[in-house]
Amino acid sequence: MKTVYGPVPSARFGRSLGVDPNCLRKRCSFGCLYCQLGPTTVKTLERKVYVDPQMVRRDLESAKKDNADVITFSGTGEPTLNSKIGEMIISAKKFGLPIVVLTNSSTLSDPAVRAALCNADIVAAKLDASNEEVFQKVSRPIEGLEFGQIVDGIMEFRKEFKGKLVLQMMFIAENKGCTGEMARLAERIGPDEVQLDTPLRKPSESPPLSREEMEAIRKEFGALPASISIISIYDLKEPDVDPINLDETRMRRPGNRIP
């Protein structure tokens, strides 16, 4: 199995050449209600070398990069659980594309993780709740992980990171009543961009909100400073892509529109 897949059509980042630092099994600290990869196979916060950085480098060298807009670290679970992700990011930057990291924010309280991610160009950090109760219901984290750690980790990273910080907020029935509180949290954190999402891709245990519901949510974020861009998923269109390997790409992103 290759560690590099795609490009995947991303409505937010364009044609995204994916890097999977975990591979083979869904290894994550969350078991989100809406995850398109289904149930978490291994729920963990243990950071170690799940995939060797040299394997990632070789796979990137052999991948077609001329039809990609970005290189995105994501894949089958939480990418920052690989303790060598910093080394992988530095190696990937040599290929001349912007580096994006998608994280559920569960490891951002770790200074080593924050330092590693500071080498990326764009970091999209997830925040899907406004309090502990909703966090446990929507994100279903590993035992012992608390909502306050997530918020504190993102805020610390905001202070240190010189690239573009994106706050990704997924809205479903279970958390749409927290919209106002989540908007105020976003203002406290002060990202460069807030992406308002709902799970349009299957499978998801919770159905997506309608366009009208998402527009109402967007209006509640309208009071944020003009320096923070607000993007709603219904406003975006996925680009056409030509994946390297269809089977591997569909395995990592089963809900994406892939030819």
pLDDT tens digits, one per residue of 188-218: 999 999 999 999 876 567 899 999 999 999 9
pLDDT tens digit sequence for 127-151: 999 999 999 999 999 999 999 999 9
Mean pLDDT for all residues in the chain:
90
Q: How many domains does the chain have?
A: 1
The answer for residues whose C-beta is within 8 angstroms of residue 127's C-beta and 6 or more apart is 105, 150, 151, 154, 167, 168, 169, 182, 185, 186, 189
- Percent over 90 (pLDDT), the chain: 74
Q: Are 6 and 16 in contact (CB under 8 A)?
A: yes
Q: What average pLDDT does range 36-63 have in this prediction?
A: 92
pLDDT value for 205: 78
Task: Tell me, yes or no, whether 259 lies in a domain.
Answer: no
Task: Tell me, yes or no, whether 69 lies in a domain.
Answer: yes
pLDDT value for 256: 46
pLDDT value for 216: 96
Task: Tell me, yes or no, whether 188 lies in a domain.
Answer: yes
Is 80 exceeded by the pLDDT of residue 247?
no
Is 90 exceeded by the pLDDT of residue 9?
no
Distance CA 130, CA 178 (A): 6
Helix (H) or strand (E) run with residue 72 in it: strand 70-73
Task: Tell me, yes or no, whether 189 lies in a domain.
Answer: yes
Q: Are 86 and 30 in contact (CB under 8 A)?
A: no
Task: Tell me, yes or no, whether 63 lies in a domain.
Answer: yes
The pTM assigned to this predicted structure is 0.91
Lowest mean pLDDT among 3-17, 185-199, 218-232: 3-17
89 in helix, strand or coil? helix
Range of the domain at 44: 4-236
Confidence of residue 155 (pLDDT cuts 50, 70, 90): very high
pLDDT tens digit sequence for 84-128: 999 999 999 999 999 999 999 999 999 999 999 999 999 999 999
pLDDT value for 37: 84
17 in helix, strand or coil? strand
CATH of the domain at 207: 3.20.20.70
Tokens of 3: 């560690």
pLDDT value for 241: 55
Q: Are 164 and 150 in contact (CB under 8 A)?
A: no
pLDDT value for 257: 46
Task: Tell me, yes or no, whether 243 lies in a domain.
Answer: no
Task: Tell me, yes or no, whether 126 lies in a domain.
Answer: yes
Q: Tell me phi and psi for residue 153, to 5 degrees.
A: -65, -45
Q: What one-character-per-residue DSSP string does 204-243 give?
A: -SSPPPPHHHHHHHHHHTTTS-TTSEEEEGGG--PPP---
Q: What average pLDDT does range 63-75 have in this prediction?
A: 89
Task: Tell me, yes or no, whether 249 lies in a domain.
Answer: no
207 φψ region: left (φ > 0), alpha (ψ -120 to 50), beta (else): beta
Radius of gyration of the chain (CA): 17
Q: Which residue has the tokens 């610390």?
A: 156
